[in-house]
Amino acid sequence: MIVGRLGILVVLASACGGRSDGRTAGRSDGRDSAPALGTTVRPTDRPAVLFLGTSLTAGYGLSDPSLAYPALIQAKLDSAGRSFKVVNAGVSGESSAGALARIDWLLRQNPAAVLVIETGANDGLRGQDPDSVRGRIQQIIDHAARQDPPPRIVLLGMEAMPNLGTNYVRRFRAIYPELARANGAVLVPFLLADVAGVDSLNQDDGVHPTPAGQRILAEHVWKAIELVTRR
């Protein structure tokens, strides 16, 4: 169990939503986004590490996208001499249904060696049935498996709000380890571990990481990326 989970989850009420200030690509109204993105997804001639995610991945509220954890992962890959190109396909406010709607288009644009899936938190905020959320994430993995060769999967775990009840929280938390076991995916148990609820690591809204918080997210995710990008 992540230490302090239930105490810090109250800060997640809008953790993956967007703003209307235009500082991130994608929707800011919390609805599912269209399959097409903006200029953040570009084809690459290096094997791609594709990040499918929400505002946490998009780098919401940061002054520069290079401060978001996917870009920090790129720097770590470069430093390790690993010839992979990070593609940040984060969209603010997106649910697992929106991620599922985009995955085929994204993989056509950037066939992925590694697919990092960060989705579900917005579903949890809306009280969506955990079995339905699990089913949609499984469909994302199934769609990715059609690629030849299929990508390695890294699954970033999220948490549900405690006010939805202990049964819902338990069922939601189980989504990610169950999917990881069923699909041979590498699991990061909770993306926001050590960041959620820490004022100094979050922006003024209390829910989106600062650059310092993003660096901690990058450390969590790098452990998985380092494993799946070994030659």
Q: For the chain, how many structural domains are there in total? A: 1
User: Does residue 117 belong to any structural domain of this protein?
Assistant: yes
Residue ranges in 29-165 assigned as alpha helix (H): 55-58, 69-79, 96-109, 121-125, 130-145
Res 183: pLDDT: 98
User: Does residue 40 belong to any structural domain of this protein?
Assistant: no
Out of 95, 96, 208, 220, which one is annotated catalytic? 208
- CATH number of the domain bearing residue 199: 3.40.50.1110
User: Does residue 202 belong to any structural domain of this protein?
Assistant: yes
CA distances from 131 to 16, 109, 185, 225 (A): 20, 30, 18, 27
User: Does residue 9 belong to any structural domain of this protein?
Assistant: no
User: Does residue 7 belong to any structural domain of this protein?
Assistant: no
- 55 catalytic, yes or no? yes
Res 231: pLDDT: 67
User: Does residue 1 belong to any structural domain of this protein?
Assistant: no
Per-residue pLDDT in tens (0 to 9) along the chain, 231 residues: 333 343 344 445 444 554 433 333 333 333 333 343 433 455 557 999 999 999 999 999 999 999 999 999 999 999 999 999 999 999 999 999 999 999 999 999 999 999 999 999 999 999 999 999 999 999 999 999 999 999 999 999 999 988 999 999 999 999 999 999 999 999 999 999 999 889 999 999 888 999 999 999 999 999 999 999 996
Domain range for 211: 46-228
User: Does residue 142 belong to any structural domain of this protein?
Assistant: yes
pTM (2 d.p.): 0.84
Out of 32, 33, 55, 96, which one is annotated catalytic? 55
What does the angle CA 122 – CA 162 – CA 206 come to, to the nearest 5 degrees?
60
Q: Which amino acid, 114?
A: V
- 208 catalytic, yes or no? yes
Res 161: pLDDT: 86
User: Does residue 34 belong to any structural domain of this protein?
Assistant: no
166: Cβ contacts below 8 Å, ≥ 6 apart: none
- 95 catalytic, yes or no? no
Res 206: pLDDT: 83
Question: Measured between alpha carbons, how far is 114 from 229 in angstroms, rounded to an integer?
Answer: 8
